[in-house]
Amino acid sequence: MMRLHKLCNRFSLISPISQSSSSSRLLPSLCSSFLSLNPHHHHHHHSSPPGFLRTRLKNPRKSLDTHMTMSTFHNPVNSEDGGLGSGSNGTASYSPVDYEDSSALDGGYRLPPSEIRDIVDAPPLPALSFSPQRDKILFLKRRALPPLTELARPEEKLGGLRIDAKCNTRSRMSFYTGIGIHQLMHDGTLGPEKEIHGFPDGAKINFVSWSYDGRHLSFSIRFDEDQSDNNKLSVWVADVETGRARPLFQSPDIYLNAVFDNYVWVNDSTLLVCTIPLSRGDPPKKPIVPSGPKIQTNEQKNIVQVRTFQDLLKDEYDEDLFDYYATSQLLLVSLDGTVKPFGPPAVYTSLDPSPDEKYILINSIHRPYSFIVPCGRFPKKVDLWTTDGKFVRELCDLPLAEDIPIAFNSVRKGMRSINWRADKPSQLYWVETQDGGDAKVEVSPRDIVYTQAADTLEGGQPEILHKLDLRYGGISWCDDSLALVYESWYKTRRTRTWVISPGSKDVSPRILFDRSSEDVYSDPGSPMLRRTPVGTYVIAKIKKDGETFLLLNGSGATPEGNIPFLDLFDINTGTKERIWESNKEKYYESVVALMSDQVEGDLFLDQLKVLTSKESKTENTQYYLQSWPEKKVCQITNFPHPYPQLASLQKEMIRYQRKDGVQLTATLYLPPGYDPTKDGPLPCLFWSYPGEFKSKDAAGQVRGSPNEFAGIGSTSALLWLARRFAILSGPTIPIIGEGDAQANDTYIEQLVASAEAAVEEVIRRGVAHPNKIAIGGHSYGAFMTANLLAHAPHLFCCGVARSGAYNRTLTPFGFQNEDRTLWEATGTYVEMSPFMSANKIKKPILLIHGEEDNNSGTLTMQSDRFFNALKGHGALSRLVVLPFESHGYAARESIMHVLWETDRWLHKYCVNNSDVVADRGKDDTKETVKEGESKVVSASGGGTPEEDFHSQRRSLL
């Protein structure tokens, strides 16, 4: 099942992603979901451990960007004119500056050189979504980077959320600017575009969703403050055939509450909508004088260990404010305008209709709230209602969960992951922990999966479906004869797949796959899913010569790189037949979705149709339909190259060895036209992010493909290819703890050894000048950067560290993949902290941080205090704090300034490294800078850089 996780990251699905488990609406490898084709993807790193089955999609009946939980813009979209240089938004001032003019380095936003700026400002490609019947495709249009004014909008920080009070939704949401519909013709070509129309110009579109029958689209719209007195979201529906859109509600006073869930299709003509209660008055006013001191107590001597969560509730006023914005009134509304209240106002967090459209699972949270954990751990109630608004029964009411242990695989006590079976009309299933939720408790079984019909009478007992000794990771349903149950354990990296027969108690469960989640070479792939007539997704069974098979869609990791495949798999015998494989010589292809599942009944191999993607090092991703039995291929998209100036860049996946024998890999990028024998070594930028492993063999495995298109994000290190740098992207920095060993206890030694091996390799190849190698990273990569400058100053001439944490004593209850506390591993916390080694940092370091960073481990204070420590020891350092920015950077002003700062730093302390000038005996690097542009001369004396590229499309919701 890891294939689904990888595909979700690869194509940046804008879809509701459950942090819990799989459900009846698990999408098959992007099927019927949004494919983000925008090259401007931010690659956010998360601290949750690899190998977890945590990206299962809950409900494709909902809008596909329902759970926008991040507080940064999700992939910026198509730029308003007026950008920054015009000053039209009144927030930024620019002036051209010479990098040598130190008087110009204080205050004001700057622009990077044009060769970088042009790449970042290039218009983004649309996102795509197929209709349920696979006969139409939506093109959702987007703008480029948002202006800083959007981030500067006031927001309430409550319960771990950031809320835009004027819109009554999460703050900093991206949006679409338009919707086009194309008919998918029988020959695989696209018909002419039909634009959705009828709503006012300038509308910001969100939460786009197909009705089950594909005849209607629903979406929300809102407007900027200068366009409307009211910024709240209204719900609209459009007729797909005509393209005409209209408001869903006849009353103009009904607005969407999108703080949590927003709306869901109950059937082809009815939606259940979370609305702002009409009776709601003005928000509560903060008392001038508090009612008393803020008191927390632990007189009961409870053990409560929590990570450094941010944006938490602080007092009673915050609790009232949270209730004010998060409380919804559910309304059942038909397309004919009929409206019916549904239940009382409450803080509803999710809505999930049963496949037979008779029932709805409704999740809500309630008081008592907490000041030390976010709202996901508040008391949670799950109720069962009929779709016409009658309360059936309460399934559970879980208490406040402040005491979930910090050990990985620890979970909340009680019922969790309550979902509908995808293959049944209204059958519930859920899991309950048997270890009290504490991963450190040894017990068998550890989790039990239960099932029960929705119409079970009061007092009816659930059935045990399956018992697990590892932690439950979800279920893929097929029918009464087949379901796949997943379990995993992070400490050992073990992952298992069970075959069960839900309708046959006399058939014993058996293990289908039992492997290490780190061992990508042994990954058999994930079963492809098909859409049912009621809109759920089940495992697809394929008929061939009277026999029944599953389709396993895999990434095909090999020592030469990923070679994706599609296998026919006999689940009874375990035999496989490969029916499709990626071209491995030049292209990287993958199966994206099953496209022949709109028909009812059996699926036959000779009628199979799949959606595939295809790309190469220099050709951007295009989409194709491939049909059996002839495997005829029809190209359905023809997107232009996002940065033709870098179309001939050079990319190579390289392998080398650490001194302890661990195999390492990296992707080496070189500028277009570069020849090491003629041009000599270049200035080089390393950009990386450490990872933890339990075995040396797994750490040395190759991940990725040498043939993948070089996507360049708006803050990507690859932008410096345009400045004639060599880029070593993602050199593996494995931190290995085999057996009972703790990986972080030898973090520094392994970090330095990995970096030394990478530096030796690029110097050996003659592409990097030994005195002109810079190191950089974001988040945990920034932590890595600071540590390398402290402990391996001989390797790098300077560093760029963005949004990092540098003092681990400020994150005492675990960080990244470390689940021991500061008091359990004091030496490790101290030795890993570059803050404690600030006196050793002698090479120039640029620190960048968002002023509103909401990541649990990287408070802005981390960079503030680290900079003060550096300054206290006379280190050459610079700190740039970006107003309004969070953990990832979103506004055009901020991003352009980050690029300017980085370019200046690399120009001054890498390209113009005085050690190199002395070696060369001359200084030919002094260049004038005009109109915000600069010129970099390579180590070989090369001239103006050839122009460049575009963005990274990797991203995790």
Residue 529 parent element (H or E): strand 529-531
714 touches 38 (CB < 8 A): no
User: CA 730, CA 956: separation in Å to the nearest integer?
Assistant: 17
Catalytic position from the list 779, 863, 886, 955: 779
The residue from 679, 853, 903, 948 that is catalytic is 853
Element (H, E) at 148: helix 148-151
Instruction: Report the alpha-carbon distance of residue 679 to residue 673 in Å, rounded.
Output: 10
- The bridge status of strand 768-778 relative to strand 798-802 is parallel
Name beta bridge partners: 581.
565
- The Cα 537–Cα 61 span in angstroms is 11
Which residues have C-beta within 8 Å of that of residue 716, sequence separation ≥ 6? 43, 951, 952
Give yes or no for a contact between 791 and 775, defined as CB atoms under 8 angstroms apart: no
The yes-or-no answer on residue 887 being catalytic is yes
Instruction: Give residue 624's Cα distance to chain centre.
Output: 25
How many Å apart are CA 37 and CA 55, to the nearest integer?
Answer: 20
Q: Which helix (H) or strand (E) holds 778?
A: strand 768-778
- Partnered with residue 140 across adjacent β-strands are 127, 179
Kindly state the helix (H) or strand (E) to which residue 850 belongs, with its residue range.
strand 845-850
Kindly state the DSSP code that residue 738 receives in the 8-state scheme: -
To which H or E segment does residue 763 belong?
A: helix 747-764
Tokens of 457: 């009478």
Compute CA distances 288 → 282, 292, 309, 321, whole Å: 17, 12, 27, 15
Give me the catalytic one of 887, 897, 907, 950. 887
Check whether the bond before 844 is cis (ω within 30° of 0).
no
If one counts every other C-beta atom within 10 angstroms of the C-beta of residue 794, the result is 9
3-state class (DSSP) for residue 907: helix
Residue 156 neighbours by CB under 8 Å, 6+ apart? 162, 163, 165, 321, 325
- The rounded distance, in Å, linking the Cα atoms of 834 and 807 is 7
619 burial type by CB count under 10 A (0-12 exposed, 13-18 middle, 19+ buried): middle
Half-sphere exposure for 491 (CA within 13 Å, toward CB) = 15
Say which DSSP state 715 is in: T
| CA gap 772, 912 in Å, rounded | 8
Any idea which residue has 């914005």 for tokens?
325
The Cβ-side half-sphere exposure at 863, using a 13 Å CA radius, reads 29
Sequence-ordered list of residues with C-beta below 8 angstroms from that of 599, at least 6 positions apart, any chain: none
Strand ranges, E, within 176-215: 178-183, 194-195, 204-210
- The C-alpha atoms of residue 731 and residue 536 are separated, in whole angstroms, by 41
Please choose, from the candidates 125, 133, 145, 138, the residue with its C-alpha nearest in 3D space to the C-alpha of residue 63: 138
The first and second tokens of residue 580, run together, are: 């499709």
User: Which residue blocks in 770-913 are alpha helix, DSSP H?
Assistant: 780-791, 826-832, 860-872, 892-906
Active site residue 853: yes
List of residues 6+ apart from 519 with CB closer than 8 A: 697, 698, 701
What number of helices (H) and strands (E) belong to the chain?
12, 51
DSSP 539-552: E-EEEETTEEEEEE
Instruction: Take residue 354 and report the two structure tokens written for it.
Output: 């049963």
Question: CB atoms < 10 A from the CB of 283, how many?
Answer: 12
- By residue count, the chain amounts to 957
Question: Which residues are the active-site residues?
Answer: 779, 853, 887
